[in-house]
Structure 1
Amino acid sequence: MLRSMNPYVIAEAGLNHNGSIDTAKKLIDVAAVAGADAVKFQKRTVDKLAVNSVLDAQDDRFPEFGKTYRAIREHLEFSLEEYRDLKGYAQAKGLDFMVTAFDTDAVDFLEEVGVEAYKLASHSATNLELLDYLARLRKSTVLSTGMAELEEIDCAVDIFRRHDAPLVLLHCVSAYPTPLAECNLAMINVLKERYELSVGYSGHELGYLPTIVAVAMGAEIVERHFTLDKTMVGFDHKMSLEPDELIAMVRAIRNVGEIRGTGEKRVSETEWVTRRKYHVSMASAVPIVVGAALDEAMVSYRNPGTGIPAKLARTVLGKRAVRNIPADTLLSVDMFE
């Protein structure tokens, strides 16, 4: 289950390990140092990813990984034991371990790993088989909603509700990178109101300003890709945050979460100091002799706020003074009958 944090920060390592277990562990180290709550990877069953004509087509994007799309994808997969190793390593660093499952076989694989919380990518929002398969597990699941119409999100949410399965929605725009004008962060509250679920933001923008704004607007969970080096070969490095950026983003998110507060109106301890200094109290406008009944002509209202509060004037007016009170003196209840 996802720990209770608001906001909850998922550091998305994704495929930025480039097939190296050592690089994956370095990414986990960065996520821990940054103060993220979870680190997340991705699991695909390559044979189920696409039709063979696509998988076996020549692909020259990353010759270091392979010469076909299938070879590239296979290069980026970890074994069961490697995943178990990564899970233990992440948990030892105090991080929740999450994985995006791209198909039902991947879910079965990750169940053997012992994954407690799942992610579903935006393009899985209409994969009814996968949605139902995962919902039946009744484990914490986070679903991105990029490219989806509201009616499609309705259907996905209904599946999880039918199985009484916990679900979090992430507003997401599937553009890499996402132009600022297309971030549409107002959708965060639209999703909250429509589904009455926890809602967050998965950002693909350059930098992290929209992610910070999303937290200020009420995002309860945020997810961002990160890398050791944006110049590395691979699918997502260029649009990912480097370690110093991830650290700065998480620090800013924690500050924004604290600044945003709870919405409960109360006078803080700091405000009480200011209040005692600047709120107005009842003061004597003229000398008041013992036995005189207090009336408005005898009173002025001045700070500091350590005397009888101005709001309580009606409870004191008409009472008789029990001693002589010089002019320009803060009034207190023990001065009157």
Structure 2
Amino acid sequence: MRSLDISGHTISDASEAYVIAEIGHNHGGSVAQAEALFQAAAAAGASAVKLQKRDNRALFTQTMYDEPYTSIHSYGPTYGEHREALEFGRPEYLHLQQVARDLGIDFFATAFDIPSVDFLAELGLPAIKIASADLTNTPLLSHAAKTGLPLILSTGGGSMAEVRQACDAILPLNPLLALLQCTAAYPAVPEDLNLRVITTFREEFPEVVVGFSGHDLGPELSWIAYSLGARVIEKHFTLDQQAKGSDHHFSLTQAQLTALTDGLSRTRAAMGSAEKITGTREAAAIRKMGKKLVAAHELPAGHVLTAEDLTCKSPGDGVKPYRLGELVGSRLTRALATDADIRIEDLVPPGDVTAA
């Protein structure tokens, strides 16, 4: 049975959705803003909040680090300085760990490089996320797997062969894996999402928890993902979709995240049981609108029933119409008025001579 435990949350086919509010760098380098995002995500019903961790000097070539960055979303004149302005270090992470504990919400981060894996593992965060961009980065995947922490791997932009390759790098070292269908488009439109891949992942990796990292706008398609078997749902999260930063415009607000989590709870409830049953809440409607077998006209005692002697009428609180064929040829032991219920105990079956 597929199952993954993160900080006491058991994620399985039988569980509710584990909802990750992906803050990334939507905090803008402000710890106070990060705290506000943590609080809003917890209030919206998220299971976890997530940041992104980069060791920028290890991650980027010197040329890319020094590259001018003049975007309206820039926090520095070069790309490296921009990224450094958004990066939290050990004191900030320790502080936010405590904030998350106080809120009762899980907190972890995406590691973009090996030093960041080590940083997050040393802090004792309960899981590590690996971004879609590192699906083919098997050295990073193997290093992260060796921490023994649960790994959550997005697969945007990858082929099935690359997904298999990534799983081959991780699973022999660490079975604690959640595999997320993802599309690396920001935002993604419904036609981009290919939610059927969730089923493909579930069939190919029967021991692995499967999920959905959605860059689509709104909550509805995540509800469909849950119904297909996704048990980890990740969505980018912001307090202001107009704020400075490249991720805000496709991130969910607190109200939208609340709608997402509420809808996932309703989706789980609506899925119910795989067993087809007559529910207790259906009884009144079935009685009112259902049908039963009754006498089509007056019938004397001793009469042998024909199909024309019986008809189907509401309410449906008697012998079901599907039994019509088996009752034809039975003999009545008492007289029946028009519309009287047909009762099995008033019938002698065809060929029963003991009741003659």
**TM-score, reference length from structure 1:** 0.88
| CA deviation after TM superposition for structure 1 residue 217, in Å | 4.4
| CA deviation after TM superposition for structure 1 residue 234, in Å | 2.3
Q: Does the CA-based 8 Å contact 1:6-1:221 persist in structure 2?
A: no
SS at match of 2:257: helix
Whether 1:159 and 2:197 are equivalent positions in the alignment is: no
Name the Cα RMSD after superposition: 2.6
Whether 1:49 and 2:91 are equivalent positions in the alignment is: no
Match of 2:188 among 160, 175, 178: 178
| CA deviation after TM superposition for structure 1 residue 118, in Å | 2.0
Whether 1:220 and 2:262 are equivalent positions in the alignment is: no
Residues 1:156 and 1:318: Cα distance change in structure 2 (over 3 Å): same
| CA deviation after TM superposition for structure 1 residue 146, in Å | 0.9
Q: Aligned ranges for residues 98-117 of structure 1 at < 5 Å?
A: 98-117=108-127
Residue type of the alignment partner of 2:77: K
Give the aligned partner of residue 159 of structure 2.
149
Question: Which digits, 9 at most, give the CA deviation of each residue in 1:213-252, with x for residues without a partner?
Answer: 4345443322111111122222312222222222233333
d(CA) in 1 for partners of 2:62 and 2:80? 9
Once the two structures are overlaid, the 10-residue window that deviates more, 182-191 or 42-51, is 182-191
Give the aligned partner of residue 136 of structure 2.
126
Once the two structures are overlaid, the 10-residue window that deviates more, 278-287 or 16-25, is 278-287
Q: Does the CA-based 8 Å contact 1:43-1:101 persist in structure 2?
A: yes
Q: Does the CA-based 8 Å contact 1:122-1:147 persist in structure 2?
A: yes
d(CA) in 2 for partners of 1:178 and 1:68? 28
Once the two structures are overlaid, the 10-residue window that deviates more, 292-301 or 198-207, is 292-301
Q: Does the CA-based 8 Å contact 1:62-1:72 persist in structure 2?
A: no
Once the two structures are overlaid, the 10-residue window that deviates more, 25-34 or 106-115, is 106-115
Question: Which digits, 9 at most, give the CA deviation of each residue in 1:180-227, with x for residues without a partner?
Answer: 433333333233333334322212234445434434544332211111
Whether 1:58 and 2:68 are equivalent positions in the alignment is: yes
Residues 1:113 and 1:250: Cα distance change in structure 2 (over 3 Å): same
Residue type of the alignment partner of 1:20: S
Structure 2: gaps spanning 5 or more residues = 349-356
Whether 1:274 and 2:279 are equivalent positions in the alignment is: no
Give the aligned partner of residue 238 of structure 1.
249
Whether 1:198 and 2:198 are equivalent positions in the alignment is: no
d(CA) in 1 for partners of 2:216 and 2:338? 66
Residue type of the alignment partner of 1:281: K
Give the aligned partner of residue 341 of structure 2.
330
SS at match of 2:23: strand
Residue type of the alignment partner of 1:10: I
Residues 1:92 and 1:320: Cα distance change in structure 2 (over 3 Å): farther
Match of 1:308 among 314, 319, 328: 319
Residues 1:164 and 1:318: Cα distance change in structure 2 (over 3 Å): farther
Once the two structures are overlaid, the 10-residue window that deviates more, 134-143 or 167-176, is 134-143
Give the aligned partner of residue 300 of structure 2.
289
Residue type of the alignment partner of 2:53: K
Q: Does the CA-based 8 Å contact 2:23-2:51 persist in structure 1?
A: yes
Question: Which digits, 9 at most, give the CA deviation of each residue in 1:47-94, with x for residues without a partner?
Answer: 221112211333233687333322222222223242233223223323
Whether 1:265 and 2:276 are equivalent positions in the alignment is: yes
Question: Which digits, 9 at most, give the CA deviation of each residue in 1:127-176, with x for residues without a partner?
Answer: 11121122223332211111212111111112232125122221111122
Once the two structures are overlaid, the 10-residue window that deviates more, 302-311 or 192-201, is 192-201
Q: Does the CA-based 8 Å contact 2:73-2:245 persist in structure 1?
A: no
| CA deviation after TM superposition for structure 1 residue 120, in Å | 0.8
Whether 1:255 and 2:269 are equivalent positions in the alignment is: no
Identity percentage of aligned residues: 34
Structure 1: gaps spanning 5 or more residues = none
Question: Which digits, 9 at most, give the CA deviation of each residue in 1:20-49, with x for residues without a partner?
Answer: 121111111111121122211111122221
Match of 1:72 among 66, 72, 82: 82
Question: Which digits, 9 at most, give the CA deviation of each residue in 1:300-329, with x for residues without a partner?
Answer: 222222111223445655554443322211
Count, aligned residues = 337
Q: Does the CA-based 8 Å contact 2:73-2:246 persist in structure 1?
A: no
SS at match of 1:9: strand
